[in-house]
A and B are shown apart, each in its own frame.
Chain A
Amino acid sequence: MTQSPLTRNIQGNGPTDILAYEASGGYLAARDNIGKADPADLLQLIKDSNLLGRGGAGFPTGMKWSFVPPADGNGHRYLVANADEMEPGTFKDRLIMENDPHQLIEGMLLSAYTLAADVGYIFIRAEYHLAIARIRSAISEAEQKCYLGDRILGSKYSFHLQVHISAGRYICGEETALLNSLEGKRATPRAKPPFPQVSGLWGRPTIVNNVETLCNIPHIVNHGANWFKSLGKGDNAGTKLFGASGRVKNPGCWELPMGTSIREILEVHAGGMQDGYMLKGFLPGGASTDFLTPDHLDLPMEYEAIQKAGSRMGTGLMVVLDDRACPVGMIANLEKFFARESCGFCTPCREGLPWVQGILDKIEAGHGQAADLEVLERQALFIGAIGNTHCAHAPGAMEPLVSGLKYFRSEFEQHIHDGRCPYAGES
């Protein structure tokens, strides 16, 4: 049995059509289970597999699904694939959607059947033109073969799947903002509760899962919970798409056991740093994760260990800071992004992030004052506090800032003392 289920059809760069997918064992889980398996058994299987959401938060998928109330026959129930991949430094879902679109469709079909959902959406960012084309063509192939639509594979179960192409904005990746956007509204996150499982799209029960999460489902259904658990290292279940960008020799994205060490990812798969560059730090999984340093290289990439080290695994695609790039400049870049992408609804986020960005730009330009660092720290307390805002955008924005102030404090101080960026001229 394959040890790289998610990318088994991708490594050879083969065709992406339905015949190739079926030939590799695709839709076997659908044929064996749709209309035949008890959805309650499938839910139990996903719970037993210890699959954790791959979008960044790492919430147990089976538990998330279990909050959906039983079908009441009063209207639609929705399953949404979050394909709005926009976390800076993250390029994993695109890999699957472009090269194995049927895997996502089969994952959605099995998930929707388990949840008794009758309508599905793939919410995808507009810039992913190739992925959109391949998914659309795959949906039409799957409809022709009766894997989607009315009375799937001769059963009584029906599931209609549509593609929704986004009109932009990072905040659409937040699941309740995504639902508002699907409803045609501004993508402002909703206050929770109620949670989408109970009152989601148009007030109906809705599950939103990340693309990679959904792609794991057919393999768990085919091979079982124990097999899935055996794929990871230690107590961690499954594989994960990990990756690295920045000044490494071989930037890329690889499917590896959950719990693979950071050192192995950066030194073996990414090939280590480019000649003339040293590793100074890294964001483990996107812009909204705290910096870690070379001292953390031997940690396993899994949610708990990275959290214990003071960060989050996030999307699992690392952004590498080298010794010739300015940490203050990098953090200023990150906060400019967060400030621009705030939806503007909650005051600490709308007003606080541009303030932080302004101070960072000032320090980077050599006009900082000693008191600025205190202001940044106080801002981080208010903006970063959970509960001051509807969603995690502002708290996420503070993660690289707070950890940056901790690990790169002397650089901040040097900018302020010297009145210039010590890295100016480097690249």
Chain B
Amino acid sequence: MKSELINALSRAEIDAIEAEITHLPDRKSAAIDALKIVQSQRGWISDDSLSAIAKLLNMSAAELDGIATFYNLIFRHPVGEQVILFCDSVSCWLMNGEKVCSKLQRTLGIQHGETTADGQYTLLPVTCLGDCDHAPAMMVGESLHHDLTVDNIEAIFK
């Protein structure tokens, strides 16, 4: 069974997931960690990855998919090199966040949930980034950008 799994998951991925399992009371409890480990290598969770992880954790693919699709930071579709998380919560809304986001959408030529044609960026809305004293805010990959305006947003992507 293990050799069949290696085709869908790398040795390193399996080892990392097994390492998580060692400090958990059962294999299923590693579900979210396992999804994140594989996503960190591949950018997203394909159906094949999902099935392989489910097998490794002794759970059904359907149950694991229920978990994967619950969490907004687990991606079941391919995403760009970098994911843009644009805050659409209330403090950013009050500071013109919607207009800034519209400008960003025009600049990149994508709507929420879409990826640029060059595969560079995927744009997603996100709940409050905890940076409200510098609203509006967004994350590009792991970088936080804030005090955004319709005038300064374009330069970030040049």
Contacts and interface: CB of A to CB of B under 8 A. Distances in A.
Interface stretch (B5-13, B29-37, B102-110, B113-121): B29-37
Contacts of A244: 133
Contacts of B139: 127
Interface residues of A, number: 54
A167 B128 contact: no
Contacts of A329: 93
A146 interface: no
B90 A320 contact: no
B3 interface: no
Q: Which of the listed residues B35, B71, B131 has the most CB atoms from chain A within 10 Å of its own CB?
A: B71
A94 B70 contact: no
Nearest to A130: B144
B19 interface: no
B94 A247 contact: yes
A128 B128 CA distance: 11
A89 B132 CA distance: 6
Contacts of A31: none
Contact of B127 (A86, A247, A252): A86
B128 to A, nearest CB: 4
A119 to B, nearest CB: 9
A245 interface: yes
A417 interface: no
Contact of A245 (B28, B29, B85, B135): B135
A414 interface: no
A234 B21 CA distance: 50
Nearest to B91: A245
B66 to A, nearest CB: 6
A290 to B, nearest CB: 14
Given A129-B142, A243-B132, A341-B127, 16 more contacts: A86-B130, A88-B91, A89-B89, A89-B90, A91-B132, A167-B72, A184-B32, A185-B31, A245-B95, A245-B135, A251-B135, A253-B133, A322-B94, A330-B94, A336-B88, A337-B88
Of all A-B residue pairs in the complex, the 4 with the closest CB atoms, nearest first, are A245-B132, A167-B71, A168-B73, A88-B89
